[in-house]
Structures are given as structure tokens and as C-alpha cells.
Structure 1
Amino acid sequence: MTIPFLRLHKRFFLTLLLFLVFGLSLLSVKWDADLVHAGGIQAIRQIMEGFFHPDFSPAILLLGLKSAWTTLYYAVAGMTLAIIYAFIIGILASGILTSNRIARLLSKIFFRGVLGITRSIHELIWAWLFVAAVGLSPYAAIFALAIPYGGILGRIFADMLNDIPKEPIRALESSGASRLQILFYGYLPLVWADMISYAMYRFECAIRSAAIMSFVGLGGLGYQIQLALSDLKYDQVWTYIYLLIILVLWVDIWSHFIRKELKEQHFQKRLYLGWIYTLLLFLLIIAAWGSITIGQTNEFLALFSKKNAASVKSFFADMVGIREVDKAFLSWESWSNALILTFQTLEMSIMAIGFATIAAFLTVLPSVRNIANASLEESKKWYKWILYGLIRLLFIFSRSVPELIWAMIIIFIFKPGLLPGAIALALHNFGILGKLWAEAIEDMDLEPIRNLSSVGASKGQIFFYGIFPAVLPRFLTYILYRWEVIMRTTIVVGFVGAGGLGMEFKLAMSYFQYTMITLLLICYLALVLLADFVSESTRKAAK
């Protein structure tokens, strides 16, 4: 009894500490009427009017569908390369190709380091760098998606390979199988379903990421949203946002069925449907790459031309300041300003996860299926299913719109600063947190909750004495995980005037201050790695 009590005690104080840090972050905002633009209230009215009356004219819908296809083939092509990269580097990072302990350790350290760096930098930052190096090309968007998503997938693939049972592997080793035979006949058959399942989940995320490639001029739905916002045509903005939500939902449903079939126990059914899904996937990949190589004037081989090679060489030479006398990363004044911006970026991320947590906490219970169908409590109310459907739709709407697009809209209401960036990040992550929390409650053991309900406990007592203690560890884990993701994204919302490192990064790119870009990237990487370390340490403390 002592250990569970101590664990609950520790989690309670950890929760209080997180809320205290959130409260301190709010002090960085000057809470007065100056937060909102003079026309902010009018902008809200116009945005809401566009929300309820989108422009569904044939010309706008046709343009939106073409842009949706561009967004889709960016995501498909990027994920194709990401999976190839993740498969190769993930296997090397797992260390399973060598039996020598020292070689395995060195392989893990080096290749996990490669995966760590590539996944730490946001895909939009990669897009900026590729556009600066090779110009406006679809391949800039594709590589910008492939590198960070490959890093994320590779890390997960490596962990999957390291976590499988060792008995089948030892049996193959004792029979004299080579390392490659052990890989293809031992490791991969045990993890391939989980690999495909997680890759499909990341494909959903890649759709949203592909939409924001527009910010560096690479087309897609995000580009149309950005143009419509610039012209204050909010009815068109919402038309393109709705098309993006439909695209994300389509991928979400499709990947759900694929993941379901991978877990299907009936082998023949799984085999039959597996061939259908595989065929559809290959057709989609062929169509995506066909649109890039045939429908675009850019040729893949042109990326490896002498002109592009010279451009890339010049770009990286500028990044390290070979031709520059006063290098920003060697200036104490530049470091001082960058560290202040880094701290502001940290404050923005804490505010964002705090807002998202509060919003999810207030809405999660009505979104739980077990509460809607009265499995957790005996009272059946007709309105519970209506609330369930509305809040679940709110979660879908919230998480389907990328953070940058939320920021583009919010900046028309609030003046530039940390607050609009935090709100934009919170709006996107609120839907993700709410969905994850609702599923955590749906998966918990119902018997203790029913016992509390049967003795006459109120709804508040059921939640605070039954549900909350059981799901608190998972809630904390999801909060910390989303905070890591938010930390990567804070620099992106800064591009549209939300403050922090992102705003300065955009200015440095605009004025070709390459050594300043290098300095800001160093600060950004340090911040992301710090978030990973703090999050991992806190998750361990919460267990």
C-alpha cells in the first residue's frame, strides 16, 4: 500500500509543479487591452461569418481540389522517402546487424544521434533550408518532409526491433543463420505490422505538414489559405480549411482500416484485404511521383547538376561564415539576444501546453464513449450522445488544422507576440490531447467506477476518486509528449509574427544573415533537446 500511495503523492505534486510553471509563464504576457488589434473584434466577426458561409463556387472548389492533390502528393512522396530512410537507419540504430557489443554500442550511438538531429528540426525549417539551397522545387518540400519524418520513424523502428522477444532470435543464431537472415526471418516478421501501422499514423501527420509547405512558396492548400488571408477573403479561407480537414479525415479513416486489418486474427481475410490496401497504396505512390516528375518542369536529375551543387556548397559556406568577417555565432551580443528569444520560445511552449491541457480537461468527460452510453455511470441522458458527437467533431476540427494556419488566422485578431503563438499551438494540440485522454478513459477498468456509482457517488466524486487517479499517469505522459512536439513547432508559428526564435529566424532568412541563421538553429536544437531530456525525466518520475 505504501508504494502506490507514494506514487500517487509524487504524481500529485508533479501535477502541481506543472501548473505552477504554467502560471509563471503567463507573467510574460502583459494582460491589457493592447493585446488585441484595434480591428480585432471586427476581424473575429468576419472570420466567423466566413466560417458559416464558405465560398463553394465551382472555381474556388476546383482550385481547392487541385491544391489538395498537391498537398497529398507532397505527403505521399515525402513519406515514401521517409520510410526508406527510416528502415535503413532504424535498423542500423538498433544495432541488431552486429553481434559485437562494442560495435553494436557505437552503431546505436552514431545512428541514433543522426535520427535525433534530423527529427529535432521542424519540417518547415528544412523547407526553408532546401529552398535557399536549391530553389523553389517540389523536391524541396518532399525532402523537407522526408528528413524529419524519417528521423521520427527511424527512432520508433529501432525501438521496435530492440523490444521484440529474444527467444526466436537465439534460435536462429544457434542454427547458424547470418545477421541478414536473422533480420529478414527473425526480426522483421515480428514487427512489420507495427511498423506499417505507425507509418500510417505518421502519414496522417504528414498531410498537415505538407499543407504548410506553402509558407515558403511551395504550393498546396496552405498556399491558397495564405493568399486568401492576405486578401481578407475569409469565406475562401474556410473553404480551403474544410478541404484540408476532409483530406486529413480521409487519410485518418483509411489508415484506421489498414491498422485494423493488420491486427485482424483471421489470416485469410487479412491476406485478402492486405493485398487490396497494398495495391491502392502503390497506385497512390505511382500517381504522386508521376505528378512530380511528369506534371512539373523540375527534373529530379537537375537536383544533382553542377549548378545546384555549387549553390548548395555556397549556401553551407555562408552558414559557417567563410566569407563573412563578423560572424553572428561568434558575437556575444548576438548570443545574448538569441538566448532571450530562446527563453521566450520556451515560455510560449509552456503557455501553449497549459492552454491545451485546460481546454482538454474541461471537455474530455463528455467526449468519452463510456460516459455517453452510461457504461461508467448508471444514469442515461439523451443529450450525452449529442455532446459526445459535438465535442468529438471539435477535437477533429482542432487537430486537423496545422498550427501555422491557426497562427495565420489568430494574428489578425491579436497583436504580434507570444500569446497568439501560444493560442495557435494550443488550438491544434487541444484536439489531440482530448482524443488521447478520451481513449485513455475508455480503455480503463470499469469495475471500480461502477462500484463508486452503485454506492451513490456524485459525478465529481467518480471523476476525482475513480477516473482521475487511474488515468493520471497516462494524462501526464501525453501532456509531456505533446509539449515535446510543441517545442519543435514554436519556431514555426513565430514565422507569422508570434514572437520567439521563429520571428527572428524569418528575418534572418529574409536579409540573408546566414551566420545568424546558424546561431538560431543552434539555440533551437538546444531547446528541443532540453525539452526531450526534461520530458523523458519527468515521465520516468511520474511512473
Structure 2
Amino acid sequence: MIRLRPAPPLLCLLPALALIPVLVVVLPAIHSGGLQIWLDCLLGALQPSLDPVVLQAMVRALQVTLATALAAWGLSGLSGALLALLSADVFWLSRGAPLWPAQILRSALALPRSIHELIWGLLLLQIFGLHPWVAVLAIAIPYSALVARVWRDQLDSLDRSSLIAQLQTGAQADAAMITTLAPAMTPSLLSYGGYRLECALRSATLLGVFGLGGLGTELQLSLQSLRFHEFWSGLWLLIVCSVALEQGLRFWRTRPKERFGAAERRQLLLLGLLLISAVVGGLWMQQLFPDDGAALAWQWPPLPDRDQLLQASTELAWGSLIVDTLRLTLLAAGLAIGLPALVELLWNRGAAPQVQSLIWSALRLLPPPLTLLMLLLANQPSLALAALALGLQNAGVLGRLLREGLDQQDQRRHQAMTVAGADSASSWLYGQLAPQSRAYLAYGAYRADVILRETIVVGLVGGTGLGWALIESLSSFHWAAVWLLIGAFSLLTLTGEALSDRQRQRWLQS
């Protein structure tokens, strides 16, 4: 019996159906007074506050965010590179050693990467208090594990035949690995290293929204108090900084080989930049907070006993919390994957690519909690609204990826279909989207895993899912519930990671 399967280009569009249940809930809940507030907010972009006091506060807050991002990126990159090497099978095989140390380390790194940096920030805030380095550690801990996983996967997937040949001739293990594996690893190191810097800036802004300092705090306070002119003063600073970083990373990705030479030298350059970033970020933080330069004074929260854990487990509505978290993930992932393809299909002529690039940049700039706060100005809290905020931010990421892929691919197939008389939608769907669809769906599967982790972010603001229950437990110092919720969320994200990896490999191999 013949099984009918949707073609990959159609699978890129089908997730956009998530827009229907979201809009069914969101549109009727919009109130007229909120529309006026949205208009005032948009008009504030044309007249940002130029008050010297406001600008001075925003510039200092931006410095805190940049220093946090630089320090966290440098620390996580250096520690992630070391952990990637030690957790790679090829490292131990090249020395003739057993593989169990790498297996133990890989298992140990699963827990820190499964916990979102916001959860780390809230936990460290309870342990160390409001210290400038709390945000740095909250980003560096999960990022180190994420970097280690990605680079280790790349290292273990490389062809080992040249390495084995050199080892059999008597070459030292370290020299053989550098000679045979470094050239192939360089593109991944450079590309993912630059991507993590961009993520670190967004994470530093996000942590500020939840009270850990920096520009996110100023933006959140301005938005909540409806001071839109001040809000846009800070937002324009963030936009300028993000665009400058994006252009620098684009240059970094497109011209590293011609500019910096051999693979080994480019890897040393990256490690040098990571070290400089960690040092500069740390010194910058010390300059911004000279009175808080003392060592972190910590106090561990009380560990609950078995009876407290059992009691907390019966108090929590696990079924509804997990179902809401999964519903939020599915709706947001559908919007994130489907909207870019749908927009490109409906609008792909003239200046559409340039305008779309600006739209995707704007969507991925704001952290989801700030987007959700803006939506709440004219709407009621709901799971659909939280999914919309989370989906729009991730649509900005996927939209940029799709746009770059379409710009870089061969256009002859699309031109041939156009000359043959195909209509605009068909020629774009099968001439442009089809060659990109499998790679796009593979990254969409990875992004769904990221969205599952990020549900904690909008859950804290939108009052839904495990995120909402976690912040409620933290605010009441109900530590038994806190540890149970963190464990449940970690298990959920690790399961999502495994499913995402399997689906991504399926699309990449098909």
C-alpha cells in the first residue's frame, strides 16, 4: 500500500497552522484602550527620550549587559572547549585509554545544560544574593555544557583514518589530533563560537528583565511604567549594539580563512579572543561595581528531606503543569517554524527580502518576556499569548536562517520554473524553498528543543506551566517544590533534546 507523505516544502508551512488557535484566543481579548497604548509605544520609537539623566542610566545599564555577556562568553567558551575535548571519545582513544571517563563526563554535563540560564540565575540569586557576578555565572554554567556538547559531537563525528595513520607511525597523540582534526573542526569552532556571543548578549538582557541588572532591568521598568520614550532610548542603544555585533560576526564567519590563515592559527585566535573577553568583561564589571568586588559570600538553601519532598509532590498539579508546558512548546514551535516560510511564500517580490530581514532582526532582538509585556498592554494573560511572544522571537531566529539560506543558494532552478510559466507561489515553493527545506526542518527540530527550554521564561510572566509554578515556589521559599520542579523540567528538556536530535538527524540524512 502506498503511503502518502507531505513533501518537505509543505512540512515547512504546516506548522503555521498553530497561528489559528493562537489568534482565536488572542484577537477577541484585545481591548480598545490597549490599542491606543500600543500606538503610543510605537510612536515612542520616533521620539526617544534625550534626557541626559535617562541616557546616562541607559548607557551604564548597557555597559553592565555588555560586560556580563563578554565575561560569560569568554568563560563558557574556554571551559566548554576543555570539556568538549575531555568528553570526546577520540581524545581517549588516541591515548589508548578506556572510554568511561568521557562517558561519565558526558552524563554529568547533561544536567547543567538542561537547566535554562534563567533558572540558574534565580537559584544563584538565592544562594549569593544580588551580586554582579551572579548573572555571569548563570550564563556561563549552562553555556559551558552546551558548547561542550556541540563541539564534542563535531569532534567525534570526524573521519579518524588520518589520525589513526599518524598514531601508527609513532606520532604523539596531541600533535596528531591538531594536525588531522583541527582543520576540519575550525569552521564549527568559529561559527558556533560567534553564535554563542550573540546568544550571551540576549541572555544578559533577559536576566536583566528578571532583576539581575543591566539594560533588561531598565527596559522592563520603563515598559511597566508606560514611559515609552525612555523605553525606546534604551532599546535603540540595544539595537545599535546588536546590529554592530551581527555585522562583526558576519564578517567573522565569511572571511576568516583569507584573513587569518591556517586552521591552527585561527583556532588559537578564537581561544585568545575568549581569554581576552573573559578578562575584559571581568575588569569591566569590577570598574562598574567597585564596591562589590569582594568574593562571593554564599549560603546554601536548605535541602528538603524525604517527607517534605513527598508532601510537595502531592501539592503540585503535575498533569496540568506538564501539559501546559508542552502545549506552549508546540504552539510556539509551530509559529517559529511556520511563520517565516509562510511570509516568504506570500511576499517574496521587490523589496520583500530586505524588509523581511529587518522584521526578523526586530523580532529576535527583544527577549520574550518583554515582548509578552508589550502584548499584555492590550490583552489578558493566556497560554496563547505566551506562545505568541515566544514564537515571534524564535521566528526571528529561523527567519534569518531561512533568508540567508535562500540568498546563498543557486537561483537557476527558480529562474527555470519562472521561465517555464509557473506561477509565483509554485516557482518559489519548489524552486527556492524545496532545496532548503530539509536543512530548515533540521534546524527547526533543534529550535523546538530550545523553545522547550525557553518556556520557563514566558511561564514566569504569563502565569502558565512549570515556569509559573517554579517562580511561585521560589517566592515562598518552598524548597522541596523548587527542587522537584527543577528536576521535572530538566527531565522534560533532556527528553525533548533526545527527540530533537533524532528528528534532526533524520532530516539531515534524508
The one-character-per-residue Cα deviations of 1:2-59 (angstroms, maximum 9, x if unpaired) are xxx9896574786698567x48x938975674x3467423322322222333223332
SS class of match (2:308): coil
Query: Which residue matches 2:235?
Result: 241
What is the alpha-carbon distance in structure 1 between the residues aligned to residue 483 and residue 67 of structure 2? 31
SS class of match (1:501): helix
What is the alpha-carbon distance in structure 1 between the residues aligned to residue 465 and residue 178 of structure 2? 47
Asked if 1:153 is matched to 2:167, the reply is no
Which residues in structure 2 correspond to 1:508-523 (within 5 Å)?
Answer: 508-523=473-488
What is the alpha-carbon distance in structure 2 between the residues aligned to residue 51 and residue 459 of structure 1? 35
Identity of aligned residues (%): 27
Counterpart AA for 1:223: T
Counterpart AA for 1:302: A
SS class of match (1:416): coil
The one-character-per-residue Cα deviations of 1:267-323 (angstroms, maximum 9, x if unpaired) are 49x97x9999998876654432112234424666622xxx52xx12xx1x43xx03x
Q: 2:282 aligns with which of 289, 314, 339?
A: 289
Shift of 1:395: 1.2
* CA shift in 2, pair 1:333/1:66, >3 Å: closer
What is the alpha-carbon distance in structure 1 between the residues aligned to residue 270 and residue 161 of structure 2? 32
The one-character-per-residue Cα deviations of 1:50-101 (angstroms, maximum 9, x if unpaired) are 2333223332222221111110110010111101221121112212232289
Query: Which residue matches 1:331?
Result: 313
Which residues in structure 2 correspond to 1:304-323 (within 5 Å)?
Answer: 308=298, 311-312=299-300, 315=301, 317-318=302-303, 321-322=304-305
Equivalent residues of 1:197, 1:262 under 8 A apart: no
What is the alpha-carbon distance in structure 1 between the residues aligned to residue 10 and residue 165 of structure 2? 47
Query: Which residue matches 2:503?
Result: 538
Equivalent residues of 1:228, 1:234 under 8 A apart: yes
What is the alpha-carbon distance in structure 1 between the residues aligned to residue 220 and residue 101 of structure 2? 44
Q: 1:201 aligns with which of 163, 172, 195?
A: 195
What is the alpha-carbon distance in structure 2 between the residues aligned to residue 343 and residue 290 of structure 1? 45
Greater relative contact order (CA < 8 Å, ≥ 6 in sequence): 2
* CA shift in 2, pair 1:65/1:281, >3 Å: farther
Query: Which residue matches 1:376?
Result: none
The farther-off stretch of 528-537 and 68-77 is: 528-537
Counterpart AA for 1:502: G
Query: Which residue matches 1:69?
Result: 63
The one-character-per-residue Cα deviations of 1:388-432 (angstroms, maximum 9, x if unpaired) are 322211111111112122122222222222122111112211211
What is the alpha-carbon distance in structure 2 between the residues aligned to residue 297 and residue 82 of structure 1? 24
Shift of 1:187: 3.3
Asked if 1:341 is matched to 2:335, the reply is no
Shift of 1:186: 4.0
Shift of 1:239: 1.8
Equivalent residues of 1:411, 1:496 under 8 A apart: no
Q: 1:352 aligns with which of 332, 338, 363?
A: 332
Equivalent residues of 2:67, 2:284 under 8 A apart: yes
* CA shift in 2, pair 1:155/1:431, >3 Å: same
Query: Which residue matches 2:493?
Result: 528
Counterpart AA for 1:287: V
What is the alpha-carbon distance in structure 2 between the residues aligned to residue 284 and residue 528 of structure 1? 30
Q: 1:460 aligns with which of 425, 428, 441?
A: 425
Counterpart AA for 1:435: R
* CA shift in 2, pair 1:285/1:529, >3 Å: closer
Query: Which residue matches 2:446?
Result: 481
Query: TM-score scaled by structure 1?
Result: 0.83
Asked if 1:302 is matched to 2:295, the reply is yes
SS class of match (1:302): coil
* CA shift in 2, pair 1:328/1:490, >3 Å: farther
Query: Which residue matches 1:378?
Result: none
Which residues in structure 2 correspond to 1:220-239 (within 5 Å)?
Answer: 220-239=214-233
Asked if 1:402 is matched to 2:396, the reply is no
Equivalent residues of 1:363, 1:434 under 8 A apart: no
Q: 2:21 aligns with which of 18, 26, 29?
A: 26
What is the alpha-carbon distance in structure 2 between the residues aligned to residue 104 and residue 533 of structure 1? 25
What is the alpha-carbon distance in structure 2 between the residues aligned to residue 325 and residue 107 of structure 1? 35
What is the alpha-carbon distance in structure 2 between the residues aligned to residue 30 and residue 392 of structure 1? 28
Query: Which residue matches 1:470?
Result: 435
Which residues in structure 2 correspond to 1:34-45 (within 5 Å)?
Answer: 35-36=29-30, 39-45=33-39
Counterpart AA for 2:481: M
Equivalent residues of 1:54, 1:239 under 8 A apart: yes
Equivalent residues of 2:202, 2:367 under 8 A apart: yes
Asked if 1:52 is matched to 2:46, the reply is yes
What is the alpha-carbon distance in structure 1 between the residues aligned to residue 478 and residue 80 of structure 2? 33
What is the alpha-carbon distance in structure 2 between the residues aligned to residue 154 and residue 417 of structure 1? 36
RMSD: 3.4
What is the alpha-carbon distance in structure 2 between the residues aligned to residue 193 and residue 478 of structure 1? 18
SS class of match (2:148): helix
SS class of match (2:202): helix
The one-character-per-residue Cα deviations of 1:430-479 (angstroms, maximum 9, x if unpaired) are 21111111222233343332221222221122123433433321232232
Shift of 1:538: 3.0
The farther-off stretch of 146-155 and 454-463 is: 454-463
Asked if 1:167 is matched to 2:132, the reply is no
SS class of match (2:45): helix
Counterpart AA for 2:331: M
* CA shift in 2, pair 1:459/1:203, >3 Å: same
* CA shift in 2, pair 1:210/1:514, >3 Å: same
Counterpart AA for 1:47: C
* CA shift in 2, pair 1:479/1:284, >3 Å: closer
Asked if 1:392 is matched to 2:357, the reply is yes
Counterpart AA for 1:230: Q
* CA shift in 2, pair 1:99/1:69, >3 Å: same
Q: 2:341 aligns with which of 336, 358, 361?
A: 361
Asked if 1:212 is matched to 2:203, the reply is no
Asked if 1:425 is matched to 2:394, the reply is no
What is the alpha-carbon distance in structure 2 between the residues aligned to residue 131 and residue 105 of structure 1? 37
Query: Which residue matches 1:380?
Result: none
SS class of match (2:91): coil
Query: Which residue matches 1:507?
Result: 472
Counterpart AA for 2:285: I
Alignment coverage as a number of residue pairs: 507
